[in-house]
A and B are shown apart, each in its own frame.
Chain A
Amino acid sequence: MSADARVRRVAGTAAATRVPWDLVGLVVLAIAVAFMPDLLKAFFGRASVSYLSIATNALSLSILALSWDILARTGQLSLAHAAFYGAGAYTTALLVKHASLPLWVGIPLGGVAAVIFALLLGAVTLRLRGIYFAIATLSAAEVLKAVVHHLPTPIAGGNAGLNVPALFRPEFIAGQMERWEVAFLRNEAYFYVYGVVLLATVLASILVQRSRFKHAFTAIRTNEEVAGVMGIRPARAKLLAFVLSAVFVGMLGAVEAHRVGSVLPEQSFSVATTVLALVTPIFGGLYTTLGPIVGALGLSSVQETLRRTFSDGYLIGYGVVLVLSILFMPRGVVGLMNGLMRRRAKPAAGAPERTGEEDRP
């Protein structure tokens, strides 16, 4: 049923062959990630070091946005993603400082820490809806930030945070490579780690969209009482969404802590993380796997272009883009594309007009 609906929607204009577009997209993404560093190196040479960082940031934003979207599919508009991110970052930092484990262990454990926090938060907020849910999650995130901030300094570093060692330290060998190539190797290694986390997130999202949970999520978002009457267990579905939404963001936080080299309360639990997590899917298109990723790539490029054009105050342009996209593109980039394709195809009578995109909260 779910696969049918999707094929009809995506391939609605072409012949109705059953192409699993979501899996095709996953493969394309994997290939793109695999070859991106080499491509950048071939095209930009020395400058590819910074381009690779920008690409890594785009992957990071994609992970964040898609994770947020998974939770939003149940109608829960979270403002707590900074807390998931920070929980992951601080977990790996604390492990490095207080336990002598391999560095890599911190990353899955960062995901676990985020999941634990998400489950607690999800369980107590089960009954909150809409803006009340949003404010409660924001409050929880701020409280967690303050708690971490006020842990005794020998444990968590307080205001000064903790240092986190890098995961990769490519050696500079004189005569064999240039300096920038060492930096490139380091950035490349991180890029692949982010790529793997993103692919895992995309796979999780696709699995949800292909399972009956897709319909459970939509039903809960549309009307939770009715969903319950139809035999869906809202609490279970909502908590599942919380877990899926937190785990990859927690891992992202952990990896990013290693990449940046430190964790700080204000930085690791920044409201900006939460804001990006929700702005991006809305810009790209909600409740799809593609939308948040398109949004992340689009917003990253917009922001980067603006930053290079106007060094100061480039965020003004970012705000203008946001306002304009809401006014003229209320369903995001993907919604706009779908609309254009549908208009061009002019569906025959009886063709499915409702695609599930309409039932926004």
Chain B
Amino acid sequence: MDTTLLVQALVSGVLAAGLYALVSVGLALAIGVIGIVNFAHGEFFMVGAFLAYQLFVTFGIDPVWSLFIVAPALFALGGVIYTSTIRFVLKAPELNQMLLTFGIGIILQNLALLIWGGDPRTIAGISYRGIGYQIGGVSIGLVPLASFVISLVLVLGLYWMLSSTPLGRAMRAVAQNRTGAALVGLEVNRVYLVAFALSALLAGIGGVMIAVIQSPTPVVGFAFTLKAFAIVVVAGLGNVRGILFAALFVAVAESLVATMVPNGDTLRNAVFFAIIFAVLIRRSWRTV
């Protein structure tokens, strides 16, 4: 076995884990705090990516700067969607909530297809895209590295926010007991609104990064919804803190298989799902 190849796969996996964690942590926030299983989550990610693309094409704004435009835009989009739809199904059956968010996802995805078409879009000609470092035969791209660092900072920032700020405490209180939180004077609806908008914002930032790392199409969102679900489930529903480790586990496994198994690149998704399936089944039969 080629050691360099192995290390390379490990490094790629770890770097990818950052972005996965960033997208998944938003989904976990929506599930944990609001109790909404958001099937449109990946579409926020996609909208972020294509906003960054359009800002670059129309105004020539570098994706690094468009982060600061996309983030508030997605926060607003999340807020609008929460206020206009999600708010009304908070107490509806889980299935209806899923279907509602699904419908929202279909709308967003097809709007994007209408606007941008189905071809991959590349943000071409940014200087730092090709930069990479070689460390003992292992190459590390600047962009994946930066996306890893930004993601990690944001995820850790979210953890800090949840544990140490009044807003975070409010979110945790609402997640634990909606009625109790309302009784002690928290405005539950506003906390939900902020949590949902924040979840969209995190996904949108992830989207800006994928627009630089890859050349996304408007259907990239659903794939990321599924991946985020996988990670959220491995971490345990509503467990925001476990996301980082779950993302690391899943991303490294995915990367290892893609590198080590012949023809493995197309097996990536299968690995993803096989892990989830095994984890869930094992967990369900473990405690007798």
Contact = CB atoms under 8 A, between A and B. Distances in A.
A146 B269 contact: yes
B270 interface: yes
B107 interface: yes
Contacts of A150: 263, 266-267, 270
**Size band of the interface chain A makes with B:** 35 or more
A143 B274 contact: yes
Contact of B269 (A128, A135, A142, A313): A142
Contacts of A138: 226, 273
B96 A132 contact: no
Interface stretch (B97-105, B144-152, B161-169): B97-105
Contact of B237 (A131, A149, A316): A131
Interface in B17-47: 37
A360 B269 contact: no
B271 to A, nearest CB: 8
Contact of B102 (A147, A279, A313, A315): A279
A323 B111 contact: no
Interface string B89-128: 1001111100110111111011101100000000000000
A318 interface: yes
B103 A323 contact: yes
Contact of B107 (A143, A146, A323): A323
B96 A326 contact: yes
A270 to B, nearest CB: 12
A327 B88 contact: yes
Contact of B280 (A139, A143, A278, A313): A139
B181 to A, nearest CB: 23
Interface string A107-140: 0000000000000000011011011100110111
A316 B110 contact: yes
Contacts of B229: 135
Interface residues of B, number: 42
A128 B111 contact: no
Nearest to A145: B270
B258 interface: no
A275 B270 CA distance: 19
A139 B276 contact: yes
A277 interface: no
A282 B99 contact: yes
Interface string B243-265: 00000000000000000000100
Contact of B106 (A130, A135, A140, A315): A315
A131 B232 CA distance: 11
Interface of B: 37, 85, 88-89, 92-96, 99-100, 102-107, 109-111, 113-114, 222, 226, 229-230, 233, 237, 263, 266-267, 269-270, 272-274, 276-277, 280-281, 284-285
Given A326-B89, A327-B85, 4 more contacts: A142-B270, A282-B95, A315-B106, A322-B106
Those 10 A-B pairs whose CB atoms lie nearest each other, nearest first: A146-B270, A322-B103, A319-B106, A319-B107, A139-B273, A313-B114, A127-B284, A139-B277, A323-B103, A142-B273
10 contacts: A125-B284, A132-B237, A139-B276, A140-B277, A142-B273, A316-B114, A319-B105, A319-B107, A327-B88, A330-B89
